[in-house]
Amino acid sequence: MKRLAAIAVAAAALHAVPAGAVEIEVGYPYSHLFDVTYEKIMESFKKEHPEIEVTFRATYEDYEDGTNTILREAVSGNLPDITMQGLNRQQVLVEKGIAKSLEPFIAKEADFEKDGYHKAMLDLGTFGGEVHGLPFSVSLPVGYYNMDLVKKAGTTALPKTWDEVIQLCQKMSANGVKNPMFWGWNITGNWFVQALMWSQDKPIVEDGRFTIDSDEGLVSLETMKKLFRGCDMQNLSWKEALASFSAGEIGMMFWSTSALGAVERAKGDFELKTAEFPGIGQKPKGLPAGGNAALLVSTSDDPERLQAAWTFLKYITSGLGAAAVAETTGYMPPNKAANEIILADFYKKNPNKETAVRQLPLLREWIAYPGDNGLAVTQVIYDGIESVVVGDQDDMKALQEELQEEVTDLLPAPAKGS
């Protein structure tokens, strides 16, 4: 059961709880990525705060599952104290009054800014001028390369554009590589669709309006089709793709840097390299920030429990907690103290994890679809892209029109004058 891993982490870390300890509950996604992170964090947190007992709930399958779970728990009155949510899923929880403002706690922290939070990262969790989410981990899309299979294609040069990716796919295929590439179309929140749009400096939602009907939208759809067809890409689930790449069966994989730690732990005997995310004919002009943030959703009116929740929330997003994220995953810490002090030499020794750091100047917003139908919009776009992956749709202009119509029907009407 998916709860077992989280319970095991909690049990190992929380032994010898003193009488009178304040208990808080925490929910987080992606057990395969973050179990080792929280285990590492809890080793130090428990030593520093023996007065706080942390219980981890069943892990969320992904960010969509996390948001759906919290929405259900808000109705049933069974919310945890802290939930980790995708950066693009915070807004709906703020708008529904589920996520609490952190400003009252921040106001009492004389050295809060000195803890090293990047303002740009804080902005991702700021709504109505108030901070509601502290960023826990930040990711960007990167390329993963099995250099043994790349060399089998007669080269060591890594592609900088999607056309070059297709050329390398064809060289790999000609040299016996059965599955040259996987491209993460099915990653959470239509993240790779937004990556193609931001590569052209175009947000997928602008002034409340869906923009897939733009020239950039059509280029994005056509680029996906060229990749899927030109690389004979198999229709794998994301779990199958990560396992297959780790087993040495896929030549190159385009995915979030977040999985790097998991891939390194699981990979077979081949040389792994990461490189910057390719662009459409040139270097990307922007890329969406992935990752998640810590939100306070407690319904408790006990000031000690709320303070304990804040203590934990602040700890996991500040220096030591943020450093643990980088050391155990491929995420980047959204915290200057972690990047500049604790991890000063880390990236020199771990060049594959430095790739995403080099892309930080390209960081753009991971856009939330406005209104109550954001999750439904995500599914519509997912289904549309899947129709291209499986070969049911070859007319990208027709798909563009279909997506524009269906998504527009689900979004709130843009404000007049927009």
Token pair in block for residue 289: 């920030």
Q: What is the pTM of this model?
A: 0.85
CATH number 1.10.1740.10 given to 141-288+369-410: no
Q: Looking at residue 75, what is its pLDDT? A: 97
Q: Looking at residue 413, what is its pLDDT? A: 86
Neighbour count for residue 394 (Cβ, 10 Å): 11
What is 133-177 written as a DSSP string?
A: EEEEEEE-EEEEEEHHHHHHTT--PPPSBHHHHHHHHHHHHHTT-
Q: Name residues of the chain where pLDDT drops below 50.
A: 1-15
Q: Looking at residue 123, what is its pLDDT? A: 82
Token pair in block for residue 169: 């796919």
Q: Looking at residue 13, what is its pLDDT? A: 45
Domain boundaries, the chain: 2-139+289-364, 141-288+369-410
Are 187 and 86 in contact by the 8 Å Cβ rule? The answer is no
Superfamily in which the 2-139+289-364 domain is placed by CATH = Periplasmic binding protein-like II (3.40.190.10)
Q: At residue 176, what is the residue type? A: G
Q: Looking at residue 333, what is its pLDDT? A: 80
Q: Looking at residue 148, what is its pLDDT? A: 96
SS (H, E, C) 223-243: HHHHHHHHCCCCCCCHHHHHH
Q: Do domains 2-139+289-364 and 141-288+369-410 have the same CATH topology?
A: yes
Hey, what's the torsion of the CAs at 37, 38, 41, 46, to 10 degrees? Answer: -160
